[in-house]
Structures are given as C-alpha cells and as structure tokens.
Chains A and B, each alone.
Chain A
Amino acid sequence: MATDTTFTNQEFKIVGTRPPRPDGVDKVTGRARFGADASAAGQLVGLVLRSPHAHAKIKKIDTSKAEKLKGVKAVVTSADLPDLTKGDRGMFDMLENCMARDRALYDGHAVAAVAAIDAETARQALKLIKVDYEVLPHVTDVDEAMKPNAPIVQPYIRTAGIEPKPTKASNVAQKSEFGHGDVEAGFKQADVIVERSYKTEQTHQGYIEPHACLASVGPDGQGELWVTTQGHFTFRNVCAGLLGMDIAKLKVTSSEIGGGFGGKTHVWAEPVALALSRKANRPVKLVMTREEVFRATGPTCSTSIDVKIGATKDGRITAATATLRYQDGAFTSIWGMLGAMTSFACYDLANVKSIGYDVLVNRPKVAAYRAPSAPMAAFAVESTMDLLAAELKMDPIDLRIRNAAKEGTRASYGPTYGPIGIGPTLQAAKNHPHMKAPLGKNQGRGMACGFWFNFGGQTCTDLNIGVDGTVSLTVGTVDVGGSRASLSLIAAEELGIPYDRIKCTIADTASLGHNDTTEGSRGTFSSGMATIFAARNAIQVLKARAAKMWDIDVADVDWKNGRAVALRAEHGNLNELTLGEIAAKSPQTGGPIAGHNETVADGAGVSFATHICDIEVDPETGKTKILRYTVIQDAGKAIHPDYVEGQFQGAAAQGIGWALNEEYIYGTDGRLQNAGFLDYRIPVCSDLPFIDTQILEIPNPGHPYGVRGVGETSIVPPLAAIANALSNAAGVRMTHIPMSPPRVLKAIKNGRH
C-alpha cells in the first residue's frame, strides 16, 4: 500500500548519507531571516509592561497619559483581549498568561502593552501607564506551595485525581498515579532498600533567539503574523481563537528559528502584538528582551522527588516507588504526571508505583523543555540506582542491564513494550572504550539511562516536480534541527534522484493543510512519513505520464532508480524515461506533476539513551569540569547521521548546563534575580568537551524506514550521569541540581553521603 506505515527494511542508497543542510549557507552568512528580521512599511514598535510583583491584585490601570503621548498609536490591556474562550480553560489560561486580568500571577506577567512609532516613545509610554496593585502573599517553592496554609495561586483549583473530589482550593492541581503489582509485598522481598530525596531547580531552555514577531491586522479582519515558533499552524489557531478571528484569515509564517526546545510551542506575546496591530491599524513588531524571555516565557519545572528502590542480593529489583512534585508555574499542566510516567520506564519491574503532583506557584507558566519532565525523574531514579548498586557491591551498569526493560515488558506507565533499545544502549555503554579509560585524582565516572515517548501528529506535505526535473518539497513542520536535509534525503531516496535536485521549504499556513507543532521529536518522523507517501503518489503520476508518452497501459510501467521502465517484452524497444524527461513533457501530458499526503502520523516508537560522563572536581572550590562525555542512543534509523549526532550532542550540552550551573533564583520578594545570561550561566564552548556519540538503529515497526524521534531523549540522562560522576569524584552523594560550585563545596564540607 502507498500509505502503509509498516517497517519494510528496505535498502537505502541516499538515506544515511551526510550532505550539507540546505539552510546552512544562509545561517553562516547571516542571510537567514529569524523572528526579528522581518519588517513592514509603517511598522510600530510594541513593548510590554510587566508586573513587578509575584502576586498582586490589579485594582486599576490608567493608560490615559500614555495614550496622549505623541507617537503612541495603541495601548492595550486585558480589556482589549476579551474572553472569547467559551469555557475552554486551557485557552483561557493562555489568554490570561498573555495579559493579566484581575491579578498578576508572577513577576513579569504582562499587564499592558503599547505600540509607538519608535522604541524610545514606547518606553516613555510604558512609564506613563499607572497600575494600582494590591500586593498579595506569594509562593514560589514547590514544597511550600503544597502546605495547607500556602497562598493560593488559582482559587478555582480543586485537586484532580483524588476521590472524593476536594471541596477546598489548593495549589495541587492534579495527582497522577502509575504502576502495577504490589510494592509493599515487593519491598518485603528485598534484601536491600535504598531511599533518597532530591531537588532540582528551575531552568530555561536558553534558546539564543528571543521571542519575536511582526503582526499585522487590518480593519477587514484579515491578518498576518511572522513569528519565530515551533508550530505556526498551532499559533494561527490559538491566536485566531483568542482574538476572535477566522482561522483562514490569519496567515502565519514561521521564520528561521534560533532554538526552541519546547519553549516556542506556546503563544506568549503574539496575541498581544496582534491586538496592538488591530487597535493601531498598523503593523507591530514585538521583540522580547532577554530579561523578558527569562521572566515571562516558559521555563521547565523545579521539582522535589522521593525515590525508594528495593532489590535482592543478586541485583533483581523487587519494588520501586517515586513521589514526584513538579511546579507548573501559575497555570495547570501535566508535568508532574509526565514525571511519574517516565520515572521507571527504563526498567522491567514487577512492583512499581509513581505518584506525580502538579503544583501551582507564582512563577511563569512552565513550558515543555525537550522530553519534558523526564530529566528530573531520571536524575532521582538513576541516582538511587547508583546508590543501590553501591549497597549491592554491583557494577552500576550491570545492575541496570539486569533490570532493563525489553520487548514484552510491561512499562511502568502501563502498556507493554514492543522492540526497544534500552538493553542495547546499556550493552553498548558497557562495551564502550570510555568505560575502561583510566581516571585521575579527584575525577569520577558516572552513567545513566533515560527514556522518552516520542509522538507524531497531524502532518501534511506537498511535493511538486518542476519541468526541469527539480522537486519542491513543501512541509509544515518547522525545521528545528536539520529536518529539511533529512526530508530531502527521503524524497530523493523515494524518487531515485540526487539530493541536490530537491528543495525543501517550510510552508506558511495559507499554503498547506494543518501541521501540528514540531514537538515530541516528531519533525523527521512525521513529515518523513508524509514525504514518503507524497513521493509515492508522485511516482504514480510519473508512471501514468510515462505511459501516455509511450502510449501503453500504465499497468505496464514500473519505477526503478528514478526512471520509468516499460515492462513486458513487447515494449522492449522503449527506452527508459528519467524523471526529468517525464517532467519536461508534463505540460503536454496533463499538466503539473505533484504528490500530496495528509496523515496522522501515530506510531512513533519510544526511545532510550545511555550516557557516560567523566568529571573532575576541585575540592577546594567546588568547581567542576566535564572531561569526557559519550552519548549512546537508539535512533531507529538515522536518516541524516550528522543531524542525529547534532541532536545527541545538543541535548547533552543542555543537560550539562542544567546539571552544573543553570538555575532560576527567586528572592524572598518572589522576583527573579538572575534574568540574564551573565547571572544565569549556560555552558559555553570552553565548558564542554567534544561529545562523542554512538547511534544505534533498532527499527521502529511503525515507520516505513524504522525512524524514531531523536531530538529529546538525550536530555534525559545527563543530570543523573553527571550527578553520579560527580558523586564518585567528590565522595559525597549529590542530591540537588544544579551542582554549582557553592553547592558542591557545601556537600563536600558537610561530608554527606
């Protein structure tokens, strides 16, 4: 079947090679256009006024002086963004997050915005807006927020997942429980039980490009939005819904993206820019500062986690439990639930229970960050696994191999696994030369493994063949990591033509059917599947055109190596026709040749990774240095190995920053104290070794090429791998992320183990 998703184990000629990415030259020469690089005639500058309070009632906003300032063309508040969400709580939360209504819920929450002829005028206008606040008690710590007398962030919340349903408001939005078996009985069978508590601090994805957009809405209700985003179709639908516009009348174009990692899956200032433009009847460009990105976009959760694991003397785990408390910021989400689902997913456990709590605090709305929620859970579980191995006097990797999930294992989150790669990644780690390399004084080695679901979603692809035989491949998934190169390889493979005959473009929302956001490691998986099917559709058209050119029955035409071949001996005098030859004649054989596919690309295979880390610690200062780092991950099938390795390396680099330095620091006033890259330290080149990679290919049975998503999984193990390495180097167990020099020094001095 042309749209059969089953893995077929076909042999590849082009897939798996490493040609340069088509967007590479533009990016290294500065020609690529990012979110802030678009301009329009008559555009205004949009700026946002933000709450200086962690939690405050907004009694009154007086915008009259700002509106009278010369050069100001529009001022908007929540009154300009009326509630059109018809009881849809998720949409209302997005509306309220874009612009505070009766209360500011976190430091940095937008309360008003202006559009003016230049930035100086806009800044002056912001100063003229008078907001009358009544400061309210706040809470920013996840454990404090769960206490009975904590200030309530959202009074409508009644904890879900508890029977009978509570009648009193709480900051615990949801309790989620996963697992199977009898953990109490399992712990009774254990010879050794290890129990430990952990904390992780809030981090930001740290994408270099701030949020930016150019919005234009006319009095006829038609609009355009140029924006840096991971999902322009989703942005279109959400913005149209929040502003009461028709979806078809809002055209959204995604710019090149300077990093997203989950943080650009949600709208933040875009509805505000559209509202300003609508009110001013002029285009409005809105570019966040780095401070705004930190204070008012979507970082990941801070967490507090308890883990207990029991095993027999021979290293077989008999029971495991985890209680995971994740703060979601000021709006409900599912991050605690995902932590609970992923926590023990690497292991084959007869008795397991994970309980996740989603907790509201006065911090920005949490967004996804690459395999969201899994890194913190893995940090806690994989650290405890190392403690268990030490108690059992077992090699940590052997303990994991002994208990690794495999095909037929019932996952801790419920379903039974098909073919999976955790065992092979662990075995590859055990056999890797890195594991046998010598270590020096104050140096330690650690390893850890991690899991992520991956998913697909709605996808739509066009493939158009020009009369010169070149191919325009049009997709709707934003390219966040080289997918245009991968998708071009797939189209070239299917059509049987060279890679450089394909040009892959990300279409705007007016040019292609809906595509879900590029998240869940779905870009190459989903659009790759749609590209395969679109190419196969085009091949059917090419065969039909060749049949016309030859004046034979299409059933007598086959497609081989980029050429139409006439079957049957009676057609032996017909020379093969290349794709280019058929395309050149297309105006006379029926017009343009195209292939198209729309699909729901479900069936994404789960993914596993194992990482190895060597670290050196200075016991006098607590400073650490990563000496060597190796990533081993199952990719299903690496379409373009360079960009698979790039995903592995990028995820590991982000994990290293998260593990060692990155941290949101809130004062007792509930205000963020380090909203900039000077005080929030992401790793730079000199902090990182070359990150070695090993790609494993255990085919996903649900994709014709066996592809699994690769973009997220390798951010899961680093926190734990580095914590295990550092604990071995320092001789003390590190239980609090980030393991920054002051925290390491304190742990060494306390001698806590």
Chain B
Amino acid sequence: MQLSASLREFAGGAASVTVEATSIRELLRKLIERFPRMQRRIDEGVAVSINGEIYRDDRNQQIPDGAEVFLLPRIQGG
C-alpha cells in the first residue's frame, strides 16, 4: 500500500509498505502491528482508497488481489 506524505512519519518515513490483507480491517491492524505510532493517527481518522474508491468508515471492505491501495487522511465536507 502507498501512504500519503502526511502519514509517512507514522510509518518510519516509508512512502509505501507491503502488507498482506484481504480487508481494510486486517490491513489497518497489520499496519499498526508494524508501526505502533500509526494507532493514534488511525484513531484520529484515515481513509483507505482501493482502486480509486475512497472508504472512510467501512472496515469490512474487501481488498481484491493486486488492488491499488492508498492510505489517506480522512476528509471532511460541508
């Protein structure tokens, strides 16, 4: 998965990390296991983009094989 620049400091500066996961929930759990500092940032709010579709809340969302996955800051709207 690739990380937005503003999130990289919580993953040791990495622009991308390899995580094996089939759902967003598993992805975030494994990310936190590797980078404990990520816990707080995820609690503050992140979104996961899978093949261009942004998921803010649905941790059950499945991640297809070979999908493009981006970790983004959580967005707000008006």
Given A176-B6, A177-B6, A413-B4, check contact A262 B53 (CB 8 Å): no
Query: Which residues of A (160-196) have their CB < 8 Å from a CB of B?
Result: 160-163, 165, 174-179
Cβ contact within 8 Å between A455 and B77: yes
* Cα distance, A458 to B57, chains bound together (Å): 8
Residue pair B76, A174 in contact (C-beta under 8 Å): no
B55 touches A603 (CB 8 A): yes
Encode B25-60 as 1/0 by CB contact (under 8 A) with A.
000000000000000000010000101111111100
Note all chain A residues with C-beta closer than 8 A to B53.
415, 418, 602-603, 702
Is A368's CB under 8 angstroms from B77's CB?
A: yes
Q: A177-B5, A414-B2 are in contact. Are A602 and B54 (CB under 8 A)?
A: yes
Check if A261 sits within 8 Å of B73, measured CB to CB: no
Q: How far, in angstroms, from A415 to B4 measured CA to CA in the complex?
A: 10
B23 to chain A, nearest CB (A): 13
A458 to B5, CA, bound (A): 28
At the interface, yes or no: A492 with Cβ under 8 Å from chain B? no
Residues of A within 8 A of B6 (CB): 160-161, 174-178, 337
Do the beta carbons of B5 and A176 come within 8 Å of each other?
A: yes
Q: Tell yes or no: B64 within 8 A of A by CB.
A: no
Contact residues of A: prevailing secondary structure:
loop
- Asked if A600 is at the interface of the complex by the 8 Å CB criterion, the answer is yes
Minimum CB distance partner of B9 in chain A: A163
A369 at the interface (CB under 8 A from B): yes
B7 CB to closest chain A CB, in angstroms? 9
- In the complex, the answer to whether A161 meets B9 with C-beta atoms within 8 Å is yes
A522 to B9, CA, bound (A): 31
The answer, among A178, A179, A338, A455, for a CB contact under 8 Å with B54, is A455
B68 interface hit (Cβ, 8 Å):
yes
Q: Does the CB pair B78–A372 fall under 8 Å?
A: yes
Neighbouring B residues of A417 by C-beta, 8 Å: 52
Contact A338 B76 (CB under 8 A): yes
The answer to whether B61 has its CB under 8 Å from any CB of chain A is yes
B52 near A415: Cβ-Cβ < 8 Å? yes
Q: Across the interface, do B57 and A371 meet the contact criterion of CB distance under 8 Å?
A: no
| CB-based contact B51/A418 at 8 Å | yes
CA distance A337 to B45 in the complex (A): 13
Are B57 and A457 neighbours in the complex by a CB distance under 8 Å?
yes
Q: Of residues 225 to 283 in A, which have CB atoms within 8 Å of B's CB atoms? A: 261-263, 265
A521 contacts B by Cβ under 8 Å: yes
Contact A456 B51 (CB under 8 A): no
Report B64-78 CB contacts with A as 1/0, cut-off 8 Å.
000010101111111
A315 within 8 A of B: no
Do A416 and B44 contact each other (CB < 8 Å), given the known contacts A454-B77, A458-B57, A712-B78?
no
Number of residue pairs across A and B with beta carbons under 8 Å? 113
Q: Please measure, in the bound complex, the distance between the C-alpha atom of A415 and the C-alpha atom of B71, giving whole angstroms.
A: 9
Of all chain B residues, which has the CB nearest A480?
B78
A519 within 8 A of B: yes
Q: Which residue of A lies closest to B78 (CB)?
A: A262
- CB neighbours of B4 from chain A (8 A): 176, 178, 413-414
Is there an interface contact between B56 and A519, defined as CB atoms closer than 8 Å? no
Of the listed residues B5, B51, B55, B76, the one surrounded by the most CB atoms of chain A closer than 10 A to its CB is B76
- B73, A176: Cβ atoms under 8 Å? yes
Residues of A within 8 A of B56 (CB): 455-457, 602
Q: Does A108 contact B (CB under 8 A)?
A: no
CA A177 – CA B57 in complex, angstroms?
23
With A416-B51, A603-B53, A603-B55: A519-B77 Cβ-Cβ less than 8 Å: yes
Give, as a whole number of angstroms, the nearest-CB distance from A741 to chain B: 28
* Contact-residue bracket for chain B: 20 to 34
Residues from chain B with Cβ under 8 Å of A262 in the complex: 77-78
A600 in contact with B58 given A414-B4, A418-B52 (CB within 8 Å): yes
- When C-beta atoms are compared, the residue in chain A nearest to B77 turns out to be A520
- A 350-374 to B, binary, CB cutoff 8 A, 1 in contact else 0: 0000000000000000011111100
Check B72–A602 contact: CB distance below 8 A: no
Do the beta carbons of B9 and A519 come within 8 Å of each other? no
In the assembled complex, which residues on chain A have CB atoms less than 8 Å from the CB atom of B52? Answer: 411, 415-418
Complex Cα–Cα for A675 and B68 (A): 48
Point out the residues of chain A lying under 8 angstroms from B49, CB to CB: 414-415
> How far does the Cβ of B72 sit from chain A's closest Cβ, in whole Å?
6
Closest to B56 in A: A455
- Would you give the shortest CB distance from A683 to chain B, in whole angstroms? 19
User: With a CB–CB cut-off of 8 A, which chain B residues contact A176?
Assistant: 4-6, 73
Say whether A453 faces chain B, with CB atoms less than 8 Å apart: yes
Least Cβ distance of B57 to chain A in Å?
Answer: 5
Rounded to whole angstroms, the CA-CA distance of A191 and B6 in the bound complex is: 32
Q: In this assembly, does A387 line the interface, its C-beta being within 8 Å of a C-beta of chain B?
A: no
Residues facing B in A78-133 (CB within 8 A) are 90
| A370 and B5 form a contact (CB under 8 A) | no
Q: Is A341 an interface residue (CB 8 A)?
A: yes
Report A-chain residues with C-beta under 8 Å of the C-beta of B55: 602-603
Report A-chain residues with C-beta under 8 Å of the C-beta of B44: 90
Across-interface contacts of A418 in B (CB, < 8 A): 51-53
Is A426 at the interface (CB under 8 A from chain B)?
no
The distance in angstroms between the C-alpha atoms of A520 and B56, with both chains bound, is 12
Question: From B59, which residue of chain A is reached at the shortest CB distance?
Answer: A600
Given contacts A160-B9, A414-B4, A600-B58, contact A368 B70 (CB under 8 A): no
Residues of B within 8 A of A372 (CB): 76-78
Instruction: Let me know if A600 and B78 touch, CB within 8 A.
Output: no
Give bound CA distance, A479 to B61, whole Å.
28
Residue of A nearest to B6 (CB): A176
**Alpha-carbon distance A516/B76, docked complex (angstroms):** 12
Question: What residues of B have a CB within 8 angstroms of the CB of A337 in the complex?
Answer: 6, 73
Q: How distant is the Cα of A632 from the Cα of B57 in the complex, in angstroms?
A: 30
Whether A45 is near chain B, meaning CB under 8 Å from some CB there, is no
Beyond A161-B5, A261-B78, A702-B53, is A415–B70 a contact (Cβ under 8 Å)? yes
Give bound CA distance, A372 to B75, whole Å.
Answer: 10
Residues of A within 8 Å of B75, CB to CB, are 334, 338, 341, 453, 455, 520
- A177: chain B residues at CB < 8 Å are 5-6
Q: Which residues of B contact A414 (CB under 8 A)?
A: 2, 4, 49, 70, 72
Q: A413-B72, A602-B58 are in contact. Are A453 and B77 (CB under 8 A)?
A: yes
Contact yes or no, A416 B77, CB < 8 A: no
Measured between C-beta atoms, what is the minimum distance from A650 to chain B in Å? 12
Question: B53 CB to closest chain A CB, in angstroms?
Answer: 6
Closest to A701 in B: B53
Q: Can you list 11 residue pairs at the A/B interface with Cβ under 8 Å?
A: A160-B9, A162-B9, A165-B9, A178-B4, A265-B78, A334-B75, A372-B77, A414-B70, A455-B54, A520-B75, A702-B53
Q: Nearest 9 CB-CB pairs, A to B?
A: A262-B78, A520-B77, A368-B78, A177-B5, A415-B49, A176-B6, A370-B78, A519-B77, A602-B55
Residues of A at the B interface (CB closer than 8 Å) are: 90, 160-163, 165, 174-179, 205, 261-263, 265, 333-334, 337-338, 341, 367-372, 411, 413-418, 452-458, 519-522, 600, 602-604, 702, 712
Beyond A165-B9, A522-B77, 19 additional contacts (C-beta under 8 Å) are: A161-B6, A163-B9, A178-B4, A178-B5, A334-B76, A338-B75, A367-B78, A369-B78, A413-B72, A414-B2, A416-B51, A453-B54, A453-B75, A453-B77, A456-B56, A457-B56, A600-B58, A602-B54, A604-B54
